[in-house]
Amino acid sequence: MIRAATVHDVTEIRAMIRELAAYERAEEQARATEEQLREALFGAHPAAHALIAEDDDTGTTVGFALWFPRFATWTGRCGMHLEDLYVRPHARGGGHGKALLAALASLCERNGYERFEWWVLAWNEPTIEFYRSLGVELLEEWTVCRLNGEPLKTLAAQAPPVHDTAD
């Protein structure tokens, strides 16, 4: 079963984020707290949304998808960015990942989103093959850019004043 996450799922979502980070060999980078996730998903101005996959027989949580809308300047329309998709190892191959992606595709259709995009690690061949089986287009001509830590602070310190002209 796929359902919208509720505030009661935050502990489980955080646990699965840490499991995903361990699988991706970056556990130390998964620093989000339950409080941060609660605010991001269920606060006054949610920054993201999540779906939960549950085992049909036991009702236990076996996976999640966390996403947010994004705007495409070239098309002038919104799309969806999938930040995390995770199915626990014991439940893989049971159709939960495909069900989560299908539910997200349906949300895209209902909301008039033109694009549904996400990233996948280049070494994660089993997942890449799964995505290919769904007809996903791999945009290999694009490279993800990231600025954080000291380089982010250094560049921010060079910012000119930004004037608000909204009067």
Digits of tens for pLDDT over the chain (167 positions)? 999 999 999 999 999 999 999 999 999 999 999 999 999 999 999 999 999 999 988 999 999 999 999 999 999 999 999 999 999 999 999 999 999 999 999 999 999 999 999 999 999 999 999 999 999 999 989 888 888 899 999 999 999 988 887 75
Q: Which DSSP state fits 160?
A: P
Which of 23, 86, 113, 131 is catalytic? The answer is 131
Distance CA 12, CA 8 (A): 8
Distance CA 95, CA 31 (A): 29
Mapping DSSP to helix (H, G, I), strand (E, B) and coil, where does residue 11 land? helix
pTM over 0.85, yes/no: yes
Edge to edge, what strands does the sheet with 2-4 contain?
A: 2-4, 49-54, 61-72, 77-87, 116-118
Structure tokens at 29: 């980078």
131 is catalytic: yes
The CATH classification of domain 2-157, taken from the options 3.30.470.10, 3.40.50.720, 3.40.228.10, 3.40.630.30: 3.40.630.30
